[in-house]
Amino acid sequence: MKSTLIDKNRTYGLLEKYKLVRKWTESICSPLQIEDYVVQPIEDVSPPKWHLGHTTWFFETFVLAPFFPGYKPYDAKFDYVFNSYYETVGSRIIRTDRGNLSRPSVSEVYQYRQYIDSHIKQLFGDTSADNALLDILELGINHEQQHQELLYMDIKYILGHNPLFPAYSHKPVFDEIEVSEGKKLRFSAGIHWIGFESDNFCFDNELGRHQVYLDAFEIAPYPVSNADFMEFIKDGGYHDFRLWHAAGWDWVNRNSAKAPLYWQFVDGQWMQYGLNGLQEIILKEPVCHVNYYEAAAFAAWKGERLPTEAEWEVASEQIKWGHRWEWTESAYLPYPGFKKAPGAIGEYNGKFMVNQMVLRGASVATPKGHSRKTYRNFFQTDQRWQFAGIRLAKEI
Amino acid sequence: MKSTLIDKNRTYGLLEKYKLVRKWTESICSPLQIEDYVVQPIEDVSPPKWHLGHTTWFFETFVLAPFFPGYKPYDAKFDYVFNSYYETVGSRIIRTDRGNLSRPSVSEVYQYRQYIDSHIKQLFGDTSADNALLDILELGINHEQQHQELLYMDIKYILGHNPLFPAYSHKPVFDEIEVSEGKKLRFSAGIHWIGFESDNFCFDNELGRHQVYLDAFEIAPYPVSNADFMEFIKDGGYHDFRLWHAAGWDWVNRNSAKAPLYWQFVDGQWMQYGLNGLQEIILKEPVCHVNYYEAAAFAAWKGERLPTEAEWEVASEQIKWGHRWEWTESAYLPYPGFKKAPGAIGEYNGKFMVNQMVLRGASVATPKGHSRKTYRNFFQTDQRWQFAGIRLAKEI
Amino acid sequence: MKSTLIDKNRTYGLLEKYKLVRKWTESICSPLQIEDYVVQPIEDVSPPKWHLGHTTWFFETFVLAPFFPGYKPYDAKFDYVFNSYYETVGSRIIRTDRGNLSRPSVSEVYQYRQYIDSHIKQLFGDTSADNALLDILELGINHEQQHQELLYMDIKYILGHNPLFPAYSHKPVFDEIEVSEGKKLRFSAGIHWIGFESDNFCFDNELGRHQVYLDAFEIAPYPVSNADFMEFIKDGGYHDFRLWHAAGWDWVNRNSAKAPLYWQFVDGQWMQYGLNGLQEIILKEPVCHVNYYEAAAFAAWKGERLPTEAEWEVASEQIKWGHRWEWTESAYLPYPGFKKAPGAIGEYNGKFMVNQMVLRGASVATPKGHSRKTYRNFFQTDQRWQFAGIRLAKEI
Amino acid sequence: MKSTLIDKNRTYGLLEKYKLVRKWTESICSPLQIEDYVVQPIEDVSPPKWHLGHTTWFFETFVLAPFFPGYKPYDAKFDYVFNSYYETVGSRIIRTDRGNLSRPSVSEVYQYRQYIDSHIKQLFGDTSADNALLDILELGINHEQQHQELLYMDIKYILGHNPLFPAYSHKPVFDEIEVSEGKKLRFSAGIHWIGFESDNFCFDNELGRHQVYLDAFEIAPYPVSNADFMEFIKDGGYHDFRLWHAAGWDWVNRNSAKAPLYWQFVDGQWMQYGLNGLQEIILKEPVCHVNYYEAAAFAAWKGERLPTEAEWEVASEQIKWGHRWEWTESAYLPYPGFKKAPGAIGEYNGKFMVNQMVLRGASVATPKGHSRKTYRNFFQTDQRWQFAGIRLAKEI
């Protein structure tokens, strides 16, 4: 971590970043109708209004309340409404109840944002801050960037599960790539360093940087395409238990799973809901919205496997990544030397290190500047609403 | 039922009533914010937006589609979104999903209402209609009046379960009464006629009119007050299993029930959420928002019982009623000679005649002109969000 | 109720009956293997071992503990294991857990029975008892007879849901009848007395005897046959929502119901599991193991309805009954003047008077001497494991 | 894997082992009463009768059916009853239903065992077999040994959750140790080989043998004692969310967890159910029956962590192990080069490699000769009925 000296340039830079990030969050929401801000169709998906409030609450609770002299909370009850999971900070609304709250209204949430923004500008605008405080501000900014991706995920879920299939936008929202076949990349056996290494920001779970021994392996230069995955479906992949984990096979049967999330079989053809509405599937794009079970079953069908997160990181500079989060064969566990921060901030990552799998890379929905090769994303094995795809690897 | 002759006066009268009722529904919603129209905190409570659409869909489906020459539906998908439970009419969104739908938007639902209203006015405005069609129109009007009461119930639930306890209005919404003690009214044993008797509108479940033999009984002239019910609580009513049905006792324990819905114990005092916000309990008002189990347990604590629906109807002209729906000791079952109408309209009442109890009277939230002494309301035994209270009776 | 005078003949008679009934319970269990005594495949079905113990516990708790001078309980923990639902008497094992108990063993339960039997014989054998005590003894005997029928029901469920379909016996267990068509019996409108009337034993729910007014009705002399019900199935009865209550239709879909319980479609033919094993359905026998929803749907398909319990009782001397419990159109509610006994005995019937329907008559599994025309049996509307059938009625 | 040559000595040795192992399974069950063989108190716990049948079915299905000339199955329906999870082999009874089956009876299951045993002896007794067949026989023997430990686990659960707390035996069943403090063992950083290496039997999940890089670490020579764990309880360990994973904290609250499984607070003192009945806790014995969440929370409370499975294996020759399965910080995932066997045997381990944690070592309930340092046991993170304890480690 950084020293606690006063740092003028860093203060200025972070405040500028703060303003840009806060504005971008609101840009993401600008095409929404008021009604879209409110609903929570499943427990994992939060109402957009809640994201707007929760990211703001983070700055209020961890920056303003302790550091702004004489700070007066916007509304004491918001603590209860917008806390997500910080046990340290007090009781909170249970996650499944977020979609029951019509109030505070959307416009009041925007007022809350303005109130916090103006205090943050006041706190950091006319003076420089010490590094300990700037560390929390920077964490808050990165936290809000994570929720920007969650906003895209949740908006897509809300609109994509509405029987009217409304479009979020009529213009392209994301930059996509075309998958090429490409030759497998080969890496020989040996010791590698992995984990974050620099003075810049990273999440606690990217540390400590440490060595791993890897056997020789090969890895695909591109993620798996929609065309590839359609082959898997046509070949009966969702009907062959031998390809699946036992828990995955249960998931298939309980949900009658037949295709990735948002795929719809309409009049004899596979269509896909995207933020532009229901459209034909583009075969050359990377497959999206598969869970770990589907990713692992696809790899088994190919006679290959998913890369480990260490393999992925070692190969990262030679592969094409950034359009889909990529499931790995690595469970989300602490690195050697991992340390939790004291207090509520320590709840950020460590307490989730069980029964989830690591995803590496970034997706089209990840904010610019928020990705790096050491970033460790994680989801439960049955979740599909994130922009997740598949990359293949195997031992040589 | 009525003949199918053309009836000019009836056409005119019903169209005027249609306009008033449709307008009143929108008046009820006028204090809401857009967000309040959308949420569904529990399965029983529907989003106000859904009520606005569903009552409209009823006129579209049962009046316009079959009888308006060349009628063009507003949006074919609304059939799926706004059907409540009519199996005859096709598939429908499951009840627990209504609160997941941000679209159609509130303003689009209002446009839908206008579209239907203008067609209804066109259909009935310039000519007279035959009685069979008018019967359906009249049913639709009464159906919408039922949903007006549901709107009050659901709005109260939505706002009253929000941690901010927002007020629906700052002016009194309902006319309340003060409960007086009053002497018990006595009725001697004998045969009585019950059920609807006139040419006016009634629901199918109020027929056939028939005779019942009643033993001598006495009945209270007023419903039970908040003060009475507070005595029950203080005397440990919620902790004494002997007062409860077995299923009621399970309900108490599963829900840690301690008081009627909307009662809150704040700083050593019982408060009550009402449409004006969280306020002190007015002791002389009739108790409200109790379920059948609570009503029956209260009566057992008093050494009395609830009246049967026949007793209630026989006594109805001598008791003070109309401020609370009153739980009776009668299960909701068909009267002798009950007949279902053919087709979807036949699904209106008959298919619910099992495992529910009859409530008689009307409540402060019942639209004017929608109550009568033969009206049979019904709810499941654990439901409390309706404006229901208690009246005592016993054998002599 | 009876006076509390000493009654020598009654004492002698009841003790003789006690011995016969206790012995018959054990006869019912005699074909079982030890393993059959232990399992509880669904919550409603109790392990036979539990019935043996619970009926014994009833005598220990309500007769011996209070009335046998210096009585020493067989095992203090049995109170916890064998209490069924008497809240007054203390905590009890939850119903879903009964099948988890391998101990006390079957042989120990039989020892417990002997211990209680010998104390009962000692208490009543050498002297006469007062009527208050004899009333409890008589209730205990009737209680055990009710569990004799439950034993048949539960044994049938346990063996009939085993994939090996073992037979309980290779000889006929019950006397069956053949259904005849017969002419409908007609009753004209008027006032009738119903409810129990004599000095003999009855359950509290058969009182008070009271008058009812009935419209004219007709009723079938025989219950509905398997052949009749097969017509209903062939005509698509389980696929036509118009015949069903809304809750019944949910039940059909949730359970993919296609036929009565124990019917199996094997190699193109309907078979039926009975206590003699899996066998061909005998078309002329009364249909069995249908729930209220199925009974009501069948009646709707015929354009008729189920009789009310008052109609049934009025007609009882002119119809053929006793082979199936017959679902009625009457909810299980207290009669006018119904009184609960004080203490635990008062929990016997009254607390179940909600959300159940009355069945009248008796079945092939009902012990001899345990049926009468005023007997009010009751089950929840979705239950099918009792020996229940259908009789048709309608208004004239 | 081994070649397919004929091997006479191996045939003889395995048959002898087969006989011993089969006999030992029955010895474990010998103190049971018939009733104990039948019940299934929770889904994870199978009836002992089922274990006896399932292990037998394994030999019938994978050895006799394919290799015994003209083999005639004991009972075709047993395939359905005793298949556990092999999708390849056909449909099977769902796991939660095993405790509903009173038949086949215990004595019939023992007859089934004899039938299979006599065929196995015939198949392997008079001739030598090829190695491919011997491999399956050996797998079956090891499979039965795994079920021997499951038998102890399940019997303990069945008797230990009975309100009568019956003892399985009145003599000591297991050899226990006393935990000593001991000095931490230190290992410097470097590359190590892990995984199975020899021609003897191992499970597929112990392969391929491969290299790992480990940072320097220290590890405790003994597992954590009951006294240590009691300190954790006294210090409020079950009430401090900071020590727990988020999922662990949910588990604590949902289950009101306060102590390891089988601990009971009786009259102001912690007691523990063991196979000898309810007894005082022996402070010096290793703590037992904790789940992964509890193990990790305990380690966090100590400021340490659990070892990884690689650290454990590297240290294994210098630590005292074998009395408790030891939770590690490693998720159960395939080793580099892991291969599933073709067919049903391939379902043995691989399909469970998700959302479980590895346990290393062995327990007092593990059969003699069934443990080795490379053995990878695995359970879900909330399970406690296995004989699992805790060992501490940390980075240096």
Cβ–Cβ under 8 Å, residues C176 and C323: yes
Task: Test D38 with C102 for CB contact under 8 angstroms.
Answer: yes
Q: Is the pLDDT of residue C64 over 90?
A: yes
Distance from CA of A260 to the nearest CA of B (A): 21
**Torsion-angle region of residue A59: left (phi > 0), alpha (psi -120 to 50) or beta?**
alpha
Convert the pLDDT of each residue in A145-191 to its tens digit. 999 999 999 999 999 999 999 999 999 999 999 999 889 999 999 99
With a CB cutoff of 8 Å and minimum separation 6, the contacts of D241 are: A87, D249
Q: Is the pLDDT of residue B88 over 80?
A: no
From chain D, which residues contact C within 8 Å (Cβ)?
A: 33-41, 49, 77, 80-81, 93, 97, 99-106, 158-159, 161-164, 166
What's the pLDDT score for residue A209? 97
Using DSSP, how many helices (H) and how many strands (E) does chain D show? 10, 14
CA A243, D355, D382, D289: dihedral to nearest 10 degrees?
90
Q: Which residues on chain D are in Cβ contact (under 8 Å) with A94?
A: none
Q: Cα–Cα distance between C65 and C57 in angstroms, integer?
A: 10
Q: What's the pLDDT band for C347 if we cut at 50, 70, 90?
A: confident
For chain C, what is the mean pLDDT? 94
Task: Test A77 with B162 for CB contact under 8 angstroms.
Answer: no
What's the pLDDT score for residue B5? 59
The arithmetic mean of pLDDT across residues C216-232, rounded, is: 98
Pairing of strands A217-219, A185-187: antiparallel
What's the pLDDT score for residue D3? 46
Burial class (CB in 10 A: 0-12, 13-18, 19+), C380: middle
Q: Cα–Cα distance between D209 and D201 in angstroms, integer?
A: 14
Cβ–Cβ under 8 Å, residues C281 and C272: yes
What's the pLDDT score for residue A2? 45
To test the contact with chain C by mutation, choose from D35, D43, D75 the residue with the greatest count of C C-beta atoms within 10 A, namely: D35
Distance from CA of B157 to the nearest CA of A (A): 10
For chain B, what is the mean pLDDT? 94
Q: Cα–Cα distance between B96 and B235 in angstroms, integer?
A: 38
Q: What angle do CA D128, D134, D139 make, to 5 degrees?
A: 155
Q: What are phi and psi of C145, to 5 degrees?
A: -65, -40
Task: Test B35 with A37 for CB contact under 8 angstroms.
Answer: yes
Amino acid letter, residue B11: T
Long-range contacts of C273-276 (CB under 8 A, 24+ apart): C273/C156, C273/C159, C273/C160, C273/C165, C274/C156, C274/C173, C275/C152, C275/C155, C275/C156, C275/C159, C275/C167, C275/C168, C275/C169, C275/C173, C275/C174, C276/C167, C276/C168, C276/C169, C276/C170, C276/C171, C276/C172, C276/C173
pLDDT higher at B92 or C17: C17
A352: nearest Cα among C372, D245, B186, B279: D245
Q: Is the pLDDT of residue B4 over 80?
A: no
- The token duo for B21 is 């009722």
Q: Is the pLDDT of residue A37 over 60?
A: yes
pTM score: 0.95
Is the peptide bond preceding residue B221 cis, with omega within 30 degrees of 0? Answer: no
pLDDT higher at D145 or C6: D145
Q: What's the pLDDT band for C1 if we cut at 50, 70, 90?
A: very low
Convert the pLDDT of each residue in B208-236 to its tens digit. 999 999 999 999 999 999 999 999 999 99
Distance from CA of A214 to the nearest CA of D (A): 8
Task: Test B38 with A162 for CB contact under 8 angstroms.
Answer: no
A364: nearest Cα among A291, A288, A263: A288
Cβ–Cβ under 8 Å, residues D348 and D203: yes
Q: Cα–Cα distance between A233 and A237 in angstroms, integer?
A: 5
Q: Is the pLDDT of residue C120 over 50?
A: yes
Q: What are phi and psi of C255, to 5 degrees?
A: -105, 5
**Torsion-angle region of residue C43: left (phi > 0), alpha (psi -120 to 50) or beta?**
alpha
Cβ–Cβ under 8 Å, residues D39 and D47: yes
Cβ–Cβ under 8 Å, residues A316 and A373: yes
B84: nearest Cα among B53, B124, B41, B38: B53
Percentage of chain A with pLDDT > 70?
98
Q: What's the pLDDT band for B341 if we cut at 50, 70, 90?
A: confident
Say how many C-beta atoms besides its own lie within 10 A of residue C342's C-beta. Answer: 9
C25: nearest Cα among C143, C127, C104: C143
Task: Test C305 with B334 for CB contact under 8 angstroms.
Answer: yes
Q: What's the pLDDT band for C5 if we cut at 50, 70, 90?
A: low
To test the contact with chain A by mutation, choose from D355, D357, D383 the residue with the greatest count of A C-beta atoms within 10 A, namely: D355
- Chain D: partners with 3+ C-beta pairs within 8 Å: A, C
Say how many C-beta atoms besides its own lie within 10 A of residue C227's C-beta. Answer: 14
Buried b (16+ CB within 10 A) or exposed e, A97-106: ebbbbbbbbb
Q: What's the pLDDT band for B382 if we cut at 50, 70, 90?
A: very high
Cβ–Cβ under 8 Å, residues B384 and B355: no
Convert the pLDDT of each residue in A305-357 to its tens digit. 999 999 999 999 999 999 999 999 999 999 999 998 887 777 778 899 999 99
Convert the pLDDT of each residue in B106-156 to its tens digit. 999 999 999 999 999 999 987 778 899 999 999 999 999 999 999 999 999
What's the pLDDT score for residue C2? 45
Q: Cα–Cα distance between C383 and C369 in angstroms, integer?
A: 25
Convert the pLDDT of each residue in C87-113 to its tens digit. 777 777 777 788 899 999 999 999 999
**If DSSP states are collapsed to H, E and C, what string results for chain A?**
CCCCCEEHHHHHHHHHHHHHHHHHHHHHHCCCCHHHHCCCCCCCCCCHHHHHHHHHHHHHHHHHHHHCCCCCCCCCCHHHHHCCCCHHHCCCCCHHHHHHCCCCCHHHHHHHHHHHHHHHHHHHHCCCEEHHHHHHHHHHHHHHHHHHHHHHHHHHHHHHCCCCCCCCCCCCCCCCCCCCCCCCEEECCEEEEECCCCCCCCCHHHCCCEEEEECCEEECCCCCEHHHHHHHHHCCHHHCHHHCCHHHHHHHHHHCCCCCCCEEEECCEEEEEECCEEEECCCCCECCCCCHHHHHHHHHHCCCECCCHHHHHHHHHHCCCCCCEEEEEEECCCCCCCCCCCCHHHHCCHHHCCCCEEEEECCCCCCCCCCCCCCCEEECCCCCCCCEECCCEEEC
Say how many C-beta atoms besides its own lie within 10 A of residue B5's C-beta. Answer: 10
Amino acid letter, residue A322: G
Percentage of chain C with pLDDT > 70?
98
Say how many C-beta atoms besides its own lie within 10 A of residue B74's C-beta. Answer: 21
Say how many C-beta atoms besides its own lie within 10 A of residue A163's C-beta. Answer: 13
Q: Is the pLDDT of residue A134 over 90?
A: yes
Of B336, B337, B354, the CB nearest to C381: B354
The arithmetic mean of pLDDT across residues C22-50, rounded, is: 97
Say how many C-beta atoms besides its own lie within 10 A of residue D82's C-beta. Answer: 26
pLDDT higher at C220 or D131: C220
Return the number of CB contacts < 8 Å for B and C. Answer: 81
Convert the pLDDT of each residue in A236-292 to its tens digit. 999 999 999 999 999 999 999 999 999 999 999 999 999 999 999 999 999 999 999
C15: nearest Cα among C59, C50, C53, C58: C59
Regions in chain D scoring below 70 on pLDDT: 1-6
Beta bridge partners of D234: none
To test the contact with chain B by mutation, choose from A103, A155, A161, A385 the residue with the greatest count of B C-beta atoms within 10 A, namely: A103
Q: What is the ipTM of this complex?
A: 0.95
Q: Which residues on chain D are in Cβ contact (under 8 Å) with C36?
A: 102-103
Q: Is the pLDDT of residue A386 over 70?
A: yes
Q: Is D210 helix (H, G, I), strand (E, B) or coil?
A: strand
Of B35, B81, B100, the CB nearest to A102: B35
Rg (CA), chain C: 22
| CA B157 to mean position of chain CA atoms | 14
Q: Cα–Cα distance between D329 and C177 in angstroms, integer?
A: 69
What's the pLDDT score for residue B3? 46
What's the pLDDT score for residue B8? 86
- Chain A: partners with 3+ C-beta pairs within 8 Å: B, D
Q: What's the pLDDT band for A23 if we cut at 50, 70, 90?
A: very high
What's the pLDDT score for residue A83? 87
Distance from CA of B165 to the nearest CA of A (A): 9
Q: Which residues on chain A are in Cβ contact (under 8 Å) with D334?
A: 305, 329
Q: Cα–Cα distance between C245 and C259 in angstroms, integer?
A: 17
**If DSSP states are collapsed to H, E and C, what string results for B151-182?**
HHHHHHHHHHCCCCCCCCCCCCCCCCCCCCCC
Please, what sign has the CA dihedral across residues A384, A389, A391, A392?
positive
Q: Cα–Cα distance between A21 and A151 in angstroms, integer?
A: 13
Q: Is the pLDDT of residue C130 over 50?
A: yes
Q: Cα–Cα distance between A156 and D324 in angstroms, integer?
A: 48
Q: Which residues on chain D are in Cβ contact (under 8 Å) with C168?
A: none
The alpha-helical segments, DSSP class H, found in chain B are 8-29, 48-59, 65-67, 78-82, 106-125, 131-160, 226-234, 246-255, 292-301, 309-315
Q: Which residue of C has its CA nearest to D81?
A: C163
Q: Which residue of A has its CA nearest to D303?
A: A339
End-to-end Cα separation, chain A, in angstroms: 39
Distance from CA of C53 to the nearest CA of D (A): 15
